[in-house]
Amino acid sequence: MEILKTIKELKSKLILIDGSLGFVPTMGALHKGHLSLLKSARKENEILVASLFLNPKQFSPDEDFHNYPRNIEKDISIFSDSGVDFVFMPDEDQVYPKGFSTFINNLEGGVFEGEFRDRHFEGVLTVVAKLINIVNPKRIYLGEKDAQQLFLIKKMLEDLNFDVIVRPVETIRESNGLACSSRNSYFSRKEFVDAGNIYQSLLKVCTLWKEGENDSSRLKQEFQKNLEKLDDMEIQYVEIVDPDTFKIINSLKNIKKSILIVAVIFKGIRLIDNIILD
Ligand code: AMP
């Protein structure tokens, strides 16, 4: 495995490669979710490139960019054990040189995550577009855990005619159901256990829907009711949306597939999750 820090170095390696290239972008602090992306990419491609770049542009000023977990040595050994061929680990000025001023925005990105995280998707779309242009992969691997991000990246690739295949990878969870996330390391043991209620509540909504409840508000109330018992739990949004358009669905009558998306702040830590109602 080789670690490259500049675009020039990475390109000089990749130009010699003849074979399908799979790409897994990450911000580091790797966990089982990232491992699953790496595993799928390793299986399907001849060459595997991963990036580790903590993208400052996707954090708003009040967020945890400076405290975000960093564990570069461990991440490198995980990449190596996962069969990564090249790790792209640029410094900030490689990605955003002085004078950088072009950003990608999606007109539909101002809702849900976009409402609560100022300029978040602008940062995400811009860095993903740049990384794809730098790496030029055949396939890119993205987690379903970040459902709106996945939707907006797919939309960008389609709208801007990028020639890359998106492989969505299903959400990997801890044994209590909590979706794996780099931010889970902020929790104490007890908080971690309690945070498992988020997924249990998503499952309860799913059960209610399977029993025939089609009214979106009642399904959303079920989620809220289940989490109310937890101290220090604030629900930022809970919505049911169409997976292909991310538009809100009010009645699930005759709807075959939808996603329940949620964002909560538990013990000061912001978490997102979702479940597919299919
Ligand atoms: P991040 O390092 O948080 O930017 O995430 C890098 C990639 O890993 C993104 O495509 C995420 O959607 C994906 N990812 C994060 N958590 C999970 C998870 N629990 N299961 C599957 N994929 C995940």
| 210 and 163 in a common domain | no
Residue-level pLDDT at 55: 98
The domain total for the chain is 2
| 217 and 119 in a common domain | no
Q: Tokens 């009214």 correspond to what residue?
A: 215
DSSP state of 278: -
Dump the DSSP string for 244-267: TT--B-SB-TT---EEEEEEEEET
Ligand 1 pocket test, pick from 23, 36, 37, 181 with the greatest ligand atom count within 8 Å of Cβ, gives 37
Question: What's the N-to-C CA distance of the chain in angstroms?
Answer: 40
Residue-level pLDDT at 200: 98
| 261 and 135 in a common domain | no
CATH code where residue 214 lies: 3.30.1300.10
Q: Tokens 């001849």 correspond to what residue?
A: 46
Contact 249, 220 (CB under 8 A): no
| 165 and 194 in a common domain | no
- Ligand 1: does its nearest atom lie under 6 Å from the Cβ of 182? yes
Rounded to an integer, what distance in angstroms lies between the CA atom of residue 22 and that of residue 46?
8
| 164 and 186 in a common domain | no
| 186 and 144 in a common domain | no
Rounded to an integer, what distance in angstroms lies between the CA atom of residue 92 and that of residue 85?
22
| 190 and 165 in a common domain | no
The answer as to whether 176 is a domain residue is: no
The answer as to whether 151 is a domain residue is: yes
How many CB atoms are located within 10 Å of the residue 167 CB? 17
Cβ within 8 Å of residue 211, ≥6 positions away: none
Single-letter amino acid, residue 260: L
Task: Tell me the longest C-alpha to C-alpha distance in the chain.
Answer: 58
| 193 and 106 in a common domain | no
pTM score, whole prediction? 0.98
| 196 and 136 in a common domain | no
**Of 169, 200, 217, which residue sits at a domain end?**
169
Sign of dihedral through CA atoms 247, 250, 254, 260? positive
Containing domain of residue 265, as a range?
182-273
The answer as to whether 175 is a domain residue is: no
Q: What is the strand order of the sheet 233-241 is part of? A: 233-241, 258-266, 269-277
Single-letter amino acid, residue 54: L
The answer as to whether 89 is a domain residue is: yes
| 67 and 145 in a common domain | yes
Residue-level pLDDT at 92: 98
The answer as to whether 225 is a domain residue is: yes
CATH code where residue 103 lies: 3.40.50.620
Residue-level pLDDT at 215: 97
The answer as to whether 124 is a domain residue is: yes
Structure tokens at 243: 């997976």
Residue-level pLDDT at 163: 98
The answer as to whether 174 is a domain residue is: no
**Of 113, 137, 169, which residue sits at a domain end?**
169
- Ligand 1: does its nearest atom lie under 6 Å from the Cβ of 146? yes
**Of 169, 199, 224, which residue sits at a domain end?**
169
Ligand 1 pocket test, pick from 88, 121, 146, 182 with the greatest ligand atom count within 8 Å of Cβ, gives 146
Residue-level pLDDT at 25: 99
The answer as to whether 177 is a domain residue is: no
Ligand 1 atom at shortest distance from the alpha carbon of 170: 21
Q: Where are the beta strands (DSSP E) in 93-164?
A: 139-143
| 192 and 144 in a common domain | no
Please state, in angstroms and as integers, the Cα–Cα distance from residue 187 to each residue in 28, 105, 271, 273, following that order: 18, 33, 11, 16
Q: What is the mean pLDDT of each run of 10 residues along the chain (278 residues)?
A: 98 95 98 98 98 98 96 98 98 98 96 97 98 98 98 98 98 98 97 98 98 97 94 97 97 96 98 97
| 127 and 220 in a common domain | no
Please state, in angstroms and as integers, the Cα–Cα distance from residue 80 to each residue in 8, 22, 51, 54, 259, following that order: 22, 15, 13, 19, 35
